[in-house]
Amino acid sequence: ALAAFALCAPAQAPDVRVVGSPGGSYATIQQAVDAALDGDIVLVRAGTYPGPVVVDGKGLTIVADRQNVVAVAGPVVLQNTAAGQTIVLERIAANAVGDFTHGLTVRKCQGPVRIVGGEFRGDHGYNPYPEPPDSHPDGWAGVYVSNCDNVSLSGVKAYGGGGGDVWDWWQEYPTGAGGAGVFVRSTRVSLTGSEARGGYGGSCYDVANLDGGPGGDGLYTTGGTVYASGTRLAGGRGGHGGDAG
C-alpha cells in the first residue's frame, strides 16, 4: 500500500526563489541559481544585478517580475543540461561589454532552451588586450549558441560587439570584424519576432596600408539549422580603411 501511494503521489511543486527587494531571499541572481534545485523558478525583482550569471547542468526558469526587464551587468551562460531538463530565460537582459565574451552563451544543452524577451550585447574586440601579445580583434556575438539540441529565441534583441581598431603603434594587429548578432553552431534554433544586428568593423587610424574590418552578420550559422520568422536581421557597417583620421 505504501508503495502504491508513493507511485500515485503528486510531484513536488518547484520552489520559487525570489531575488531582490521587496521580499527577496537572495541579493544576486547567481546566489539564487546556486541554491536552486532542478525545476525551480528564480523570480527576479526589477533592477540591475551583477554578472556573470551561469546556469550549469540545471533545468531552471529565470524570469523577471511583473513584466519588467531585469538587467545583468555582465554575461549570461546556460550550459550542460540533460535531455530531460528545460531552461527558460524570460525578460532578462545581459550586457557583456568589458567582459571579453558574448552577451548570452548557450552551449551543450540537450534539453530545450527557451529565451523570451531580453536584450543581449556582446563585447567589443580589442587590439591588443590586455597587453601584447594577447589580442582579440573581433567582436563577440550578442547571442552565441553551440552544440545544443533545440533553442528558441522569441522577442529577443541581440547585438554583436564592434571590431577592434588599429592605430599606428599597433600595426602588427589586424582590424577586427564585428561580432554576429546571433551566432549558431550545430544547433536547431527558432528565431521569432526578434532583432539581430552585427557589430561594426574596426577602423584604421594613422595607418595607410590596412583595410577596415568587415561588419558582423546579423545571423551567422555553421552546421546548424535556423527557422526565422518576423525577425529583422541586419549586418554591421564595415570599418574605415587606410587612414580614417
For residue 68, pLDDT over 90 is answered with no
Q: What is the SS3 assignment for 154?
A: strand
pLDDT band at 127 (very low <50, low <70, confident <90, very high): confident
CB atoms < 10 A from the CB of 158, how many? 32
pLDDT of res. 174? 79
Average pLDDT over residues 125-152: 85
| Mean pLDDT over the full length of the chain | 90
pTM: 0.92
Q: What is the SS3 assignment for 80?
A: coil
Q: Taking Cα atoms as reference points, which of 94, 96, 104 lies closest to residue 151?
A: 104
228 vs 130: CA distance, rounded Å = 37
For residue 3, pLDDT over 50 is answered with no
43 vs 19: CA distance, rounded Å = 6
CA distances from 185 to 46, 158, 171, 188 (A): 33, 16, 32, 9
Q: What is the SS3 assignment for 207?
A: coil
213 vs 204: CA distance, rounded Å = 9
What is the biggest distance separating any 2 CA atoms in the chain, rounded to whole angstroms?
A: 85
Report pLDDT digits (tens) over 144-198. 999 999 999 999 999 999 999 887 656 667 789 999 999 999 999 999 999 999 9
Higher pLDDT, 37 or 204: 37
